[in-house]
Chain A
C-alpha cells in the first residue's frame, strides 16, 4: 500500500471514531478510538436479532394471507 493510500485509510477510521491519531514531528501515532469495533458489531447484532425475529413472524403472516388470497381466487373461478 502506498503512503497516500495508508493516509486515506487512517483518516476514514479516524472520521468513524475507530482510531485517534496524534502527530509528533514526523511520526503519527494511532490509537483505538472511543468507539470500539466490538461495540459497533454488538449494536448491529442486537438489531439484526430483533429484526430477524420480527420479519420471520411477518413472513409467516404474509405467507398465510397470500395462500388465502390464492385459494379465494381459485374458488371464485369455479
Chain B
C-alpha cells in the first residue's frame, strides 16, 4: 500500500486499516493536536461516547463507564432498533500510561481481543495506532460477522455518507 508523505494533508486525514495477520487488525491515523488532547478524547467517557459509535451506524450508547487506569474496568452498553435488548461490552485495562498507551482486554467471552492503542506525538501532531489482537483467526472473523450481520442497512447509510464526503 503506498504511504502518503508524513505531514501532508492527505496523510493527516487518512485512516489506514490493515489486517496485520490472520488474527490481528491495525488501524492508524494522525491527528492535528498534541497527544494529551487525543488521549483525553479517548479516556473521558463523555468525550468517548461522542465519537466511538458513528451516528450513521444507527446504534446508540446507552451507558458508558470507563475507569481508564491500569487495573480499571470498562462497560459499554449499546442499543439498536434491531436488537431485542441492549448489548454490553466489558473488560479490564491491562496497562495505561497517560498520553502514551492504553491496553485493554475484552472479557465478554474467552475469545475476546486484546487491544493496544498508542499515541505518538511528533511536532504537535499525534499518530494513533489501534492494534486489536484476537486469540484466533476464527474469533476475529466472528467478531466482524457479528457486527456486520445486524447492520447491512447501517453500512449502506455509511456508504452514502462516505460517498458524499469523498
**With A and B bound together, what is the CA distance between A58 and B63 in angstroms?**
19
Q: Mark A31-61, 1 if CB is under 8 A from B, else 0.
A: 0000000001001101111111111111111
Tell me the complex Cα distance, A55–B158, Å.
Answer: 14
Which chain B residue shows the least CB distance to A40? B19
A65 close to B162 (CB less than 8 A): no
Q: A47-B144, A65-B41 are in contact. Are A59 and B155 (CB under 8 A)?
A: no
Q: Does A21 contact B (CB under 8 A)?
A: no
Among A44, A50, A56, A62, contact of B19 (Cβ-Cβ < 8 Å)? A44
Count contacts on B: residues with CB < 8 A to the other chain: 36
Instruction: Please give, as numbers and ranges, the residues of chain B lying within 8 Å of A57 by CB-CB distance.
Output: 50-51, 54-55
Given the complex, which residues of B lie within 8 Å of A44, measured CB to CB?
A: 17-19
Give the distance in Å from the alpha carbon of A57 to the alpha carbon of B49 in the complex. 10
Residue contact A46 to B155, C-beta cutoff 8 Å: yes
Q: Which of B15, B32, B155, B161 contacts A55 (CB 8 A)?
A: B15
* Assembly CA distance A61 to B41 (angstroms): 7
A11 within 8 A of B: no
**Cα-based distance from A52 to B54 in the complex (angstroms):** 9
- CB under 8 Å from chain A, chain B span 107-166: 128, 130, 144, 148, 155, 158-159, 161-162, 165
Contact present for A52 and B40 (CB under 8 Å): no
User: What residues of chain A lie closer than 8 Å to B18, measured between beta carbons?
Assistant: 44
Indicate whether B25 reaches chain A with its CB closer than 8 angstroms: yes
**Residue contact B33 to A62, C-beta cutoff 8 Å:** yes
Can you give 16 A-B contacts (C-beta < 8 A)?
A47-B17, A47-B27, A47-B144, A49-B158, A49-B159, A49-B162, A51-B130, A52-B15, A53-B57, A53-B161, A56-B54, A57-B51, A58-B38, A65-B37, A65-B40, A66-B33
Q: Contact residues of B with A, CB < 8 Å?
A: 13, 15, 17-19, 25, 27, 29, 31-34, 37-38, 40-42, 47, 50-57, 128, 130, 144, 148, 155, 158-159, 161-162, 165
